[in-house]
């Protein structure tokens, strides 16, 4: 649903689910975060990212990469590097794409 750009409906269903005391699963968080990032709604994605970690779901490699690259592309290099460090501490090895994105953003920032 979120991938079709219907983010309002996605959030409405998410809130309704929580109203019934249903706990989202890790794949639900992943899907919602990906949908918001792809739609350019990084703040909403990060709220879900923080919530996901708060309820003890461990982000996967793809999510870490997406969040690092999103921070870098939005000019939040300090946050991108902090998340990059967290990614490595969690045992995930960055890809050449992740390094490339970070290098490009650092070069662009002077």
| pLDDT tens profile 49-104 | 999 999 999 999 999 999 998 888 888 889 999 999 999 999 999 889 888 888 88
**Residue 110: its pLDDT value, please?**
67
For the record, the structure tokens of 105 come out as: 């953003």
Q: Could you give the CA distance from residue 67 to residue 49 in angstroms, rounded to a whole number?
A: 9
For the record, the structure tokens of 11 come out as: 């959030």
Domain segments of the chain: what residues? 1-57, 60-110
Contact 39, 7 (CB under 8 A): yes
């Amino acid at each position: 649903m979120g991938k079709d750009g219907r983010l309002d409906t996605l959030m409405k269903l998410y809130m309704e689910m929580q109203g019934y005391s249903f706990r989202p699963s890790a794949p639900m968080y992943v899907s919602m975060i990906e949908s918001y990032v792809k739609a350019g709604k990084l703040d909403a994605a990060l709220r879900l990212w923080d919530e996901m970690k708060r309820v003890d779901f461990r982000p996967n490699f793809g999510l870490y990469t997406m969040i690092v690259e999103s921070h870098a592309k939005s000019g939040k290099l300090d946050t991108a590097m902090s998340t990059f460090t967290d990614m490595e501490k969690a045992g995930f090895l960055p890809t050449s794409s992740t390094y490339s994105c970070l290098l490009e953003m650092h070069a662009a920032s002077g």
